[in-house]
Structure 1
Amino acid sequence: MARIAIDMDGVMADSTQQYINWYAARYGVQVEKASLLGKPETTGFPLEGVVRQFLYTPGFFRTKPVIPGSQEVIKALQEKHDVFIVSAAMEFPQSLSEKLAWLEDHFPFISWHNIVFCGYKNIVDADYMIDDHIKNLSTFKGEPLLFTAPHNVHVEGYKRVNTWEEVGALLL
């Protein structure tokens, strides 16, 4: 039985789609996800800088779309492994309570015992970490799995998983 640490934003919750949705709702401009490929997260929108402000806006973390396949695969992983949701939730004040409520809504089968909110993830001790940011994977002592997101498409040097189906094929 392996211990698996799973990031939320960009891995379970679709941050990029949330940026796109919120930008369209507030500025009336639909940005295509393909236009964000290879650009740093929160950049690539016509009005630079405004998307980062969404991270400080109540409701942003609470209403993110679920990444397809994550619910089914994580539930199956829990049957075979020790699964922990590990999310940085200290930088943005409202994110902690909103992330917890989001998990309760979309992943009710995950116990609070298996949810770790932290600052830096360098304290995480697991066999695998699934994350979309290399800043979290670069110090990880287990096997890092880079979950594909627009901001990391050009990153090399990590084992990459593009979908939850690929995660399931690898770890189930």
Structure 2
Amino acid sequence: MKQRIAIDMDEVIADTLAKFVHLYQKDHGLTLTPELLHGKELRDALPPELIDSVRKYINQKGFFRDLEVMPGSQQVVEQLAQKYDVFVVSAAMEFPNSLEDKLHWLGEHFPFIPWTNIIFCGYKIINTDIIIDDRTKNFKGFAGRTLLYSSPHNLLLTEFERVNTWDEVASLLL
């Protein structure tokens, strides 16, 4: 039996942050630089009058449909799928409009992952051997190996095994 890997979507294989950066520049003339975002949640880097806009954007139908793919993720995840049982696990239930968008996005960019291995959930209560995620809250209660995928909001955390790129994931797991 193959080991199982759970891979998060947003900020791990799908570049949600790049979309936010684009939208805030286009709609508000606000430039969100890596320095401004370092160690902060997106909402904490915004002026007070724009804090509510994060939820407005993320709840719009279509927000998740045209996200950029994280560099190297397609190739490495496809290689991982040869060695492991790979599951994409996304806490999508909080944003109901994201479900169809995410399913179609995965079908377009990761067609080798069958629908049976896509899990949209609230809490990530999963039984896998490894989890790759950008949110450490998803590591609570998880008994397997955790890999923290770097994103600006988690750069100050030091207590987890970290991966910065999909090449690093490949070197650890392939």
Matched with 1:101 is 104
Report the Cα offset of residue 156 of structure 1. Answer: 2.0
- Tell me by how many angstroms 1:22 deviates: 1.4
Displaced runs of 4+ in structure 1, greater than 6 A? none
Structure 2 match to 1:57: 60
Aligned to 1:114: 117
2:83 equivalent in structure 1: 80
Stretches of structure 2 that go unaligned for 5 or more consecutive residues are none
Deviation of 1:138 after TM superposition, in Å, equals: 2.2
More helix by share: 2
Mapped contact 1:20–1:33 kept (Cα < 8 A): no
Structure 1: any 5+ residue segments left out of the alignment? Answer: none
Q: Give the deviation of 1:32 after TM superposition.
A: 1.4
Check the 8 A contact 1:90/1:119 in 2, yes or no: yes
Q: Which residue of 2 aligns with 1:34?
A: 35
| Number of residue pairs aligned between Structure 1 and Structure 2 | 171
Shift of 1:152: 0.3
Post-superposition Cα deviations, 1:52-92, rounded to whole Å, max 9, x if no partner, equal 32111121111111110000000000011110001111101
Q: CA RMSD in A?
A: 1.2
Question: 2:134 matched to which residue of 1?
Answer: 132
Question: 1:3-45: per-residue Cα shift (whole Å, max 9, x none)?
Answer: 1000000100112111101111211333213310111244313
Residue matched to 2:152: 150
Percent sequence identity over aligned pairs: 50
Q: Does 1:45 align with 2:46?
A: yes
Q: TM-score normalized by structure 1?
A: 0.94
Q: Which amino acid aligns with 2:35?
A: A
